[in-house]
Each structure stands twice: as C-alpha cells, then as structure tokens.
Chains A and B, each alone.
Chain A
Amino acid sequence: MDNLSLLMDGFGSVLTPQNLLFACIGVLLGTFVGVLPGIGPAMAVALLLPVTYGLDPIGAFIMFAGIYYGGMYGGSTTSILLNTPGESASVMTALEGNLMARAGRASQALATAAIGSFIAGTIGTLLVVFFAPALASVAVEIGAPSYFALMVLAMIMVTSVLGGSPLRGFIALFIGLTIGLVGLDLNTGQPRLSFDQPLLADRIDVVVVAVGIFALGEALWVAAHLRRSPLHVIPVGRPWMGREDLRRSWGPWLRGTAYGFPFGALPAGGAEIPTFLSYLTEKRIAKRKGVDEFGKGAIEGVAGPEAANNASAAGTFVPLLALGLPVTATSAVMLAALQGYGIEPGPGLMTDQPELVWALLASLLIGNALLLVLNLPLAPVWAKLLRIPRPQLYAGILFFAALGAYAANLQAFDLFLLVLLGLLGLAMRRFGLPVLPLILGVILGPLMEYRLREAMAISGGEVSGLWSEPLAVVIYVVVAIAVVVPLAVRRIRPTPAAVADGLDSPADEEEKVR
C-alpha cells in the first residue's frame, strides 16, 4: 500500500487553506466556463491557463484539477439543458438527459450526472493511483526505440481509428507536425521553418496553438454560422434525486465507470466509445427488466454515459503521467500546461517529481468532491448562463483567448500567431479536419524526433535499431493491426449505423465478463 501513503503525502501538501481556496476557484471557474455554450472542456482548460501563470506548480495543479472536472461537468449541464452537445463525449448524455429535462425531470438528470461524475471520477482517480506508478516503473525501463514506437502508436490510433475520415486525420496530424518543426533544431541549434524571425526560432508556444485552434478557431467558426433563432433553455431548480432514482442510478454509474476507465487509459481512448457502449448496455438491461424508458427520458441513459465520460477522463491520466502521451484534446492541453512549468511528462516524471504527481492526484480527488458540494446547489445559477446573449459571449471568448495568448510571453507577435492559428482552426472546422491529431502532432512531433535521434545514435545509425527491443516490435504489430482492421471494416460495412452494429457484440461480451 505504498501508493496510498504517497497519496496521503499528496493530500498533506494540498490540504492548506490557500490551496483549498485555489481548488474552489478552479472548480467554480471551470464550471462557469464549461457551462457556457460552445465551450468544451479542452477549450475551458485552454482559456483558463493564464489564470494559473503566477502560481507555484502545486497551486496551479490544484486549480487545474478543479478546472478540469468543473469544465467537464459544465459541459454535461449544457447538453442536458440545451440538447446540443458541445462535444462528442456528451452526445449520449444529451440524448436521454434532454428528454428527461423536457419531461420536467431536469433536476434529477443534473443530480444523477453530478453524482455519477463524482463516483466515476473518484474511482477512476483511485485506479490511476494504482496503475500509473506501476506503468511508470515499467516505462522507465523502456528505451528510445520503444518510446518512438509508442508515439507512432498514439498518433496512428488517434488519427485513423477515432476520426471518421483517415485522410483528414492524417492531414491534421501532418499540419501539426509541421507546426512542431518550427523553431530551433534540438541537436544542432539551427532554426527550421523560421523565416529568419527570431521570435519563431524560439518555437511556437503550445498554449498559443491550443488557444488559437480550440478557442479562436471555434469562435470564428461559430461567428460564420451563428444560429439566428435562440435555443430553448429548460428552466431547472435545485438538483435532487428520490430513492427510486438512486436505486436506478447506481448500477449504471458503476458499469459506466467500468467502461470508461480502460478506454481512457488506452492510447486510443476518447470518451465516445465507452459512453456509447454504456448507453447500449443500459438500454439492453432496461429492456430485459421490462422497464425500458429509453426514448422517454431514462435516468439510466444519463447516469451510465456520464459516469463513463468521467471515468475515461480520469483514465487519460494514466498514459499522460506515466508515458507523457496525451490521448484526448483536453489532456493534450493539460500536457501543454505541465510543460509550461518546465515539467516534462514521461516515464521520469513519477520518479523525478513524485511530490508534484501525488499532489496532482490528490487535488483531482479534492476537486471532484468540491465539484459535487458546490455544484448541486449552484445548478440554477449555471442554467442562467445559458441565456447570455451570443454576441457578448463570443466577444468574451475572443477577449480571453487574446488575453491568454498574450499573457504567456507578453509578445504582440504571439497575438499575431494566435490570429493565424485561429484562421487555421476555422479552416479545419470548415474542411472537417479533426483537431486532436493536430495538437498531438504539435506536442509529440518534437519528442518523437528527439527519441528517434536518440535511438539511432545508440544503434550507430542502423535503422534496425528501431526494432531492436521486443516491446517496440509488439507495438509495431499493434500499429499494423490498428491500421488494417478499420480499413477492412470500412470496406465491408461503410456506414456509421453499421459500425454501431459492430459495437453491439463487444458490449455483450463485456457484460458476460462482469
């Protein structure tokens, strides 16, 4: 139980009045920004990065943890009350959640989402406490060739498995890799793609990229397509649940957690698949019990996917902390934030900076608990935010995006880059290019090059050095499978409905296992 005592040490460094205040501010800000329509968790974290600039790392991490869970919870509130999910992970929550809200059960929907998020987040974070150190201790042993292979795996999975169009995924990935090239070459100190600009030779700040692509790109895209007719917002009172709701919710919470965590922890995670699986499972179970309210606002359909969503979010911390691999847009932004503190996530992190890691994990648990305590009473206030007039809302997003990008280095040139990247983000949304591969390319590209050169230097320039480790070979086999299987599946059954069918059977098997 070594991990637990380390976690207790983490609590020790986090539980000071000042740090608890940071946690509260983080949760409130995160929920505030997350509830705002049009802002998903990744954008919420990106927009709120500057708030933590002046803090020491521990204080900043605590605030991040609050912002992270707050932003996620805010997103589910929006999708339940507006029926227009801001991101793919809330699609399943929105289905039944909005039906519940329309049937006058908005309070119960919000309550089961909040409590489900809390339970899933807590279990998920505790699982991270047990898995991440074990994985990290293995990861310390793996050499540069396997590392390089892992990054290839993460890129391929995110690009070709998750997105709808592999071609567009790869275009986004290579735009990201190109952006990652800009600046001084790590070994020889020569500027690349810098057009003789010293400011470009310093490399483009990942924060500027994240804010530009997520916040500015999204705001410009919305500006081009702003909905003329206002959306219908469902009024809501204080969330509460009756005994009956609780009885129907706890099963879905736990099953959702069981789906969510493994998917989040895999280097091809994302919350889309587990939320979908959870939804299907709950629907099936409800049908078997003969109380199928799905399609009329079933509380199981909110509880399960919402728990899956949060458990998967917690799971993403395993590859992030143990391997330095971000697998969702939000964790990519978190990684950028960690890098801002001079912390290089990766196998060394757990051994080099244990107090930071354990403080982060402890603050995730605290942020999660605060979220529940603060947000159940505040839900009606958050619901009012959905009525903010859109011109002012998006003007505000532009304002804070500019502030965030500018405050990082106080360079007007960064603002110029922000505008360029915002236009790139706009173009990506116009052409259906996914955002995640791009961010992954920007962050992982330079690391990948570094590992490649390290591996080749060790092998003395022999290309075979890249598969000199057994683990690397295994990973390349997985990469090959990951590339071939979706292509084959697509050829046989090209429609999304068919893919959904294909997901039915694993859902069944998972059930039997349990």
Chain B
Amino acid sequence: MSTPLDTHPGTPGAPAGPAAPRRDMAQLGLAAALVVVGAYTVYDATTLRIGFGDPVGPRVFPYVIGAVTVLLGGLLVLATLRGDVPEAEGGEDVDLRQPADWITVLKLVGVLMFTVLTVSFLGWAISGAVLFVGSAWSLGSRTLVRDVIVGLVLSVTSWYAFHEGLGVILPAGILDGVL
C-alpha cells in the first residue's frame, strides 16, 4: 500500500496517538452506501406517475438528488484512494487519541432498541427509566442503585410534567391506573 502521496500520520508535534491509516478504507463503505441510496432514490422515482399541468413533476427532484448522490459516492471512492482522510469531530468529552469503543455504542443502541420496542407496552415511566439506567451502565457507571432511583425519578417526573404541564399524555403502559 505504499504510494508516493504519503499523508503524514497526525500533524507533526501532536501528541503521539495510534498512527492514522494512510487510507481510510471504511470510507469506501460510506461511498457504497451513498451509491445504493442514490440508485434506489432514482429507481423509486421511476415508479411515480406524472400529474397534469405540472411541468416538473414528482420525478425530477429525486432523479437529480439520486444521481448526484451516486456521483458523490464515486468521488468519495476517488478521494479515499488518493489518501483523503476525514477529520473526525472533536468535543469537550471526546478523546480522539483513544481507539473508538464500538462495544459501548452497540450496548447503547441495544438499550435504545429495547425502549423502542417496549415503550407502548411498558409505558414511558418504566421504559424511560430502563433507558437511563441501561445507558448509564453501558457508559461505565457502577452505581446501580443510585442510577435506578435517578432514572425512575426522571421518567415519572417527566410523565407527570408532560401530563399536567403540557397536556401531552405519554403512555402509562402497565402502570395504567397507578400513575
């Protein structure tokens, strides 16, 4: 993988981190996704019927957007192969010198999906509390009792606040009648 166009791993003088890969091959995945999405957008537009008295019609916009998206996917492939690496976003609590911890992200997505699937049945008070406790646990908190109390207080308070203050009825679920 040696190319004459070596990009430097990190800026000179920066704290020594893991050497940045010369090419970010994961970008090819993004490019592929763009091509698929763009192509599907164009295909989806072909299934639309054209109305009357509308010179543009419902197809033009998706055609253009889909085609450009495919084009951008192609350009991203070129840029990646030329050694173009993304500048990942920093932030107050972000430490980019550490390798990414995707396990934690997976756990969080799992907790969120649990909330998606149970919120109608268990109700916000329980699903919301589980969301808080599960997320805190996934992020490395080990004060389970405190988290459960905080989570329940948050979810029950928000249920009442929305119910009384804003007139938005969040589902009570199995606690129907108790709340």
User: What is the chain B residue whose CB lies nearest that of A82?
Assistant: B92
Are the CB atoms of A412 and B119 closer together than 8 Å? yes
Asked if A456 is at the interface (CB within 8 A of a chain B CB), the reply is: yes
Q: Which residues of A have CB within 8 Å of B151?
A: 395, 399
Interface size class of B (residues with CB under 8 A): 35 or more
Chain B residues numbered 60-95 whose CB sits less than 8 Å from any CB in chain A: 60-62, 65-66, 68-69, 72, 75-76, 79, 84, 86-95
Are the CB atoms of B58 and A188 closer together than 8 Å? yes
- Complex alpha-carbon distance, A406 and B125, angstroms: 13
Are the CB atoms of A224 and B79 closer together than 8 Å? no
Stretch at the interface among A6-14, A174-182, A276-284: A174-182
Chain A residues numbered 371-390 whose CB sits less than 8 Å from any CB in chain B: 389-390
Are the CB atoms of B108 and A188 closer together than 8 Å? no
Interface size class of A (residues with CB under 8 A): 35 or more
Would you call the interface of chain A mostly helix, strand, loop, or mixed? helix
Identify A391's interface contact among B38, B66, B88, B136, CB under 8 A: B136
Shortest beta-carbon distance, B174 to chain A, in Å? Answer: 15
Q: A164-B87, A220-B105, A452-B56 known; A78 and B139 CB under 8 Å?
A: no
Asked if A429 is at the interface (CB within 8 A of a chain B CB), the reply is: yes
- Complex alpha-carbon distance, A433 and B65, angstroms: 18
Identify B27's interface contact among A188, A389, A431, CB under 8 A: A431
Are the CB atoms of A228 and B98 closer together than 8 Å? yes
Are the CB atoms of A394 and B55 closer together than 8 Å? no
Are the CB atoms of B115 and A407 closer together than 8 Å? no
Are the CB atoms of B119 and A415 closer together than 8 Å? yes
User: What is the chain A residue whose CB lies nearest that of B30?
Assistant: A431
Q: Which residues of B have CB within 8 Å of A226?
A: 93-95, 101, 104, 139-140
Q: Which residues of A have CB within 8 Å of B88?
A: 429-432
Stretch at the interface among A126-134, A238-246, A289-297, A418-426: A418-426
Q: Which residues of B have CB within 8 Å of A168?
A: 86
- Encoded as 1 (CB less than 8 Å from any A CB) or 0, chain B from 29 to 58 comes to 010001001101100110011110111111
- Complex alpha-carbon distance, A84 and B92, angstroms: 5
Are the CB atoms of B48 and A188 closer together than 8 Å? yes
Are the CB atoms of B65 and A178 closer together than 8 Å? yes
Asked if A251 is at the interface (CB within 8 A of a chain B CB), the reply is: no
- Complex alpha-carbon distance, A109 and B109, angstroms: 40
Are the CB atoms of B30 and A223 closer together than 8 Å? no
Chain A residues numbered 161-207 whose CB sits less than 8 Å from any CB in chain B: 164-165, 167-168, 170-171, 174-175, 177-178, 181, 185, 187-188, 190, 192-193
Asked if A37 is at the interface (CB within 8 A of a chain B CB), the reply is: yes
User: What is the chain B residue whose CB lies nearest that of A397?
Assistant: B135
Are the CB atoms of B55 and A53 closer together than 8 Å? no
Asked if A410 is at the interface (CB within 8 A of a chain B CB), the reply is: yes
Identify A431's interface contact among B86, B93, B136, CB under 8 A: B86
10 shortest A-B CB distances, which residue pairs? Answer: A54-B166, A432-B86, A461-B55, A391-B141, A395-B135, A391-B139, A395-B136, A227-B95, A37-B92, A185-B58
* A37-B93, A395-B136, A398-B108 known, 16 other contacts, Cβ within 8 Å: A54-B162, A175-B37, A178-B38, A181-B65, A188-B48, A223-B108, A225-B95, A226-B93, A226-B94, A390-B93, A395-B133, A406-B170, A415-B119, A418-B112, A423-B109, A429-B89
